Structure 1
């Protein structure tokens, strides 16, 4: 039977605009202030969760407690189900006066986590396609680690390079040589931006890297450098077009997710579903609590136990795990149906139970920010594209605009590492700060 939700359509048409927009609209000041914590949660935390869920399913299957899956299939399922999408939680954070650091930790983790989860799943797929019968467990682990590192850093480097090239093209004025001034022709400028937005995805997929990881880093780099070289018209047009397209793609994704309940035969096993839910919650706990305690040794703004509990509770699953479950193409067909059915149940369970319980839980544990900020009255918008990283209006993340943040940062004498390199060399080389944000 034809499935109503085609994974190829999801990964080629619907997911890239959502991922690129999340990177392009990211509030980079708050993001890079917490970049170490975000990377630890999204990369190492996701890997921990994937290994716990995958290992638990594998050993429970060998003990004949649940449906038996081999090691690569178990790891693939653990990887895909580790993709979090806390849309409802972040919308509630924005509606309430929640600590902006907690907001950014959850939001930043969800941005990178999607890409990491997809790379981990692709790693498991790559191992499945190869003949691993004569390879030991340690060799399998090293091969998987090498494949993951190649996918992660190769895709990130490709996306970063593409974004920097777009910044250079938009930086230089070709009017004297070619009689074309992109800043005076917004249609050409906008067209160039759209091409460069999708280019890293196509290039990465063409050379067997992760298009999602590449397009995410390209979005962050283009927002940080290329955006400031554009004319004011194209700046606004780019932001609003991306937000609109991403919102439409999100709507289609969740509509397909709801319709998928009736679109193909299901295989339901109670023991498998229950143990998977237990492992998902346990894997999230092992991800959040130990890493938070470790980070507190290095953070000035500590992650409190209440914040840890809210972060654990915000582990909602969305449409990405379901699309990945169909993309795996497991054989026999009953295994594919079991994984798909279990994934749908976990997604609905986390959205309805965890998402629905977030607001009363936040009020119960009293996690609201002690320094309330001036806020406009807004409706709660359950969309990842709702001004969460908007550089024009982002009062729920910071009282400073991007320009004010950078001006304040430049004045500081204690800049270190990448921030110093960016302010002193990269920004002057790749951007011209002549346009108003």
Structure 2
């Protein structure tokens, strides 16, 4: 069976899962995970392999952009202290806790190759920057307070900067090329800061053009171009594509275009 047919079948199954989950009052994301695990265990379908390029370049930009476009910079400033605590100390603690769990486990079970602390921290940094798509979807269904959703979404969008720095430091330590703390700080501002600058430029240019358009379809198309171009251009320049896409989404959302693009959000 071709990959196109398998993807179509998976979309059909996901649609049926959504209908059934709604009828039995079960969160859609939980039902989808359960059905997915069942299909995987039964080996009925063999979906295409998810490569790094597919996930990083195709799926990630629109997810990040869609979340950023609904945020407001005024809300971010208001809860800046709480969000910063979650983004920096929170991610670092999460990274260390992950390492503290997997390192003893690898030592205790002799059939597993022993994982050093540096490798454990490297792995912890890779998984610390979580994405709460399923959680936010459940929040929307349950009608949780808007501020709680804001904190979760903001932390998810901004935690990549911290995890990138920790990951780079751990990787450089493993490779024996760890520089000074000053170098790490410079890398942080270069990766995150320049990513924000690239995204801001693309966001301002896109918002300016959109304000002079009166065609919703063209506006949606231009928004898609802005989301992907901000990510890909920043990535090609060696800076954070995620931060660039966040900046583009925030600027376009701040210009009041989210109501045009997502009127029923």
- Map 1:222-261 → 2, pairs under 5 A: 222-225=252-255, 227=257, 236=260, 238-239=261-262
Q: Specify the alignment match of 1:429 in structure 2.
A: none
Distance (Å, rounded) in 2 between the aligned partners of 1:146 and 1:58: 30
User: What residue ranges of structure 2 are gaps of 5+ in the alignment?
Assistant: 1-46
Alignment of 1:310-349 (within 5 A): none
CA distance in 1, matches of 2:218, 2:149: 37
Residue in 2 that maps onto 1:107: 153
In 2, Cα distance between equivalents of 1:202 and 1:125: 25
Alpha-carbon separation, structure 2, partners of 1:195 and 1:97? 32
Question: Is the 8 Å Cα contact of residues 90 and 107 (structure 1) preserved in structure 2?
Answer: yes
2:241 counterpart residue number? 211
Distance 1:198 1:92, change over 3 A: closer
Alpha-carbon separation, structure 2, partners of 1:91 and 1:170: 28
Shift of 1:6: 1.0
Q: Is the 8 A contact 1:164 1:221 kept in 2?
A: yes
- CA offsets 1:173-224 (integer angstroms, 9 cap, x no match): xxxxxxxxx4245554443333222221111111111211211121111111
TM-score normalised by length of structure 2:
0.65
1-side partners of 2:234 and 2:170: how far apart? 17
Q: Indicate if the aligned counterparts of 1:31 and 1:108 stay in contact, CA closer than 8 A.
A: yes
Residues 185 and 86 (structure 1 numbering): CA distance in 2 closer, same or farther, change over 3 Å?
closer
The question of 1:158 aligning with 2:181 is answered no
Q: Provide Cα deviations, 1:41-72, integer angstroms capped at 9, x if missing partner.
A: 12332123224434x368648x9446433455
How do 1:83-102 residues align onto structure 2 when only pairs under 5 Å count? 83-96=129-142, 98-102=144-148
The TM-score with structure 1 as length reference comes to 0.42
Coordinate RMSD, CA, aligned: 3.5
Aligned partner of 2:67 in structure 1 is 22
Measured in 2, the distance between the counterparts of 1:201 and 1:92 equals 27
Correspondence for 1:200 among 210, 230, 241:
230
**Counterpart contact for 2:103–2:115, Cα < 8 Å:** no
- Assess if the C-alpha contact under 8 Å between 1:166 and 1:226 holds in 2: no
Instruction: Say if 1:167 and 1:226, in contact at 8 Å, map to a contact too.
Output: no
Pick one of 123, 127, 132 that aligns with 2:176. 132
Structure having the higher helix fraction is 2
Q: Whole-Å Cα distance in 2 between the matches of residues 50 and 16 of structure 1?
A: 24
CA contact (8 A) 1:204 1:210 kept: yes
Deviations for 1:345-380, whole angstroms, at most 9, x for unmatched residues?
xxxxxxxxxxxxxxxxxxxxxxxxxxxxxxxxxxxx
Higher alpha-carbon Rg: 1
After the TM superposition, which residues 279-318 of structure 1 pair with which residues of structure 2 at under 5 Å, given as runs? Answer: none
Kindly indicate whether residue 46 of structure 2 is the aligned counterpart of residue 6 of structure 1.
Answer: no
**Bigger RCO (CA 8 Å, 6+ sep):** 1
Preserved contact between residue 73 and residue 124 of structure 1 (Cα < 8 Å): no
Paired with 1:110 and 1:151, the residues of 2 have a C-alpha distance of: 17
- CA distance 1:142–1:218, shift in 2 (3 Å): same
Aligned pairs, number? 216
CA distance in 1 between counterparts of 2:158 and 2:53 reads 21
**Displacement, 1:125?**
7.7
